[in-house]
């Protein structure tokens, strides 16, 4: 199964890209900086960004599935993710893939969204409390 990945240079996308290649799937990855992805068998890198309709269509063409792993590094506004999603879906309509998987932590970082802070305030303290419980016990 050929897989197209948007956001393959990020943390989540990098893992997805590696897992797909390790499983033997050919991958087409869109990257603003292709040099950020080391050459690897089965990997084709297309230069561009997620708001470049032609580059997205080139990346998606011939794929059986599309993975969007666009993340918080570039997603500081709602319009970026919405625009990228619209472009990806339009490219899928043109080129044929019917499977779309989206995974991201970007929602926790979007500036200006009144609902953004609750996630960080509610979840992160719990994560860090569990993660560092042993450190606190050791220090006391």
Q: H-helix or E-strand containing 78?
A: helix 78-95
| Architecture of the domain delimited by 3-110 | 3-Layer(aba) Sandwich (3.40)
DSSP 84-100: HHHHHHHHHHHH---EE
The CA–CA distances, whole Å, from 58 to 8, 43, 135 equal: 15, 14, 49
For residues 33 and 49, give the distance between their C-alpha atoms in angstroms, rounded to a whole number: 9
pLDDT at 138: 42
Asked whether residue 135 carries a pLDDT value surpassing 90, the answer given is no
Predicted confidence (pLDDT) per residue in 60-95, tens digit: 999 999 999 987 665 555 667 778 888 999 999 999
């Amino acid at each position: 199964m050929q897989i197209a990945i948007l956001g393959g240079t990020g943390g989540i996308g990098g893992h997805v890209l590696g897992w797909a290649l390790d499983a033997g799937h050919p991958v087409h990855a869109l990257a603003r900086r292709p040099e950020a992805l080391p050459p690897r068998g089965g990997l084709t890198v297309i230069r561009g960004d997620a708001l470049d309709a032609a580059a997205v269509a080139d990346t998606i063409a011939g794929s059986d599935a599309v993975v969007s792993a666009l993340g918080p590094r570039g997603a500081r506004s709602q319009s970026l993710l919405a625009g990228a999603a619209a472009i990806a879906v339009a490219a899928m309509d043109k080129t044929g893939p019917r499977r779309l998987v989206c995974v991201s932590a970007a929602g926790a970082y979007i500036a200006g969204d009144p609902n953004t802070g609750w996630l960080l305030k509610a979840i992160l303290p719990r994560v860090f409390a569990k993660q560092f419980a042993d450190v606190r016990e050791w220090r006391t």
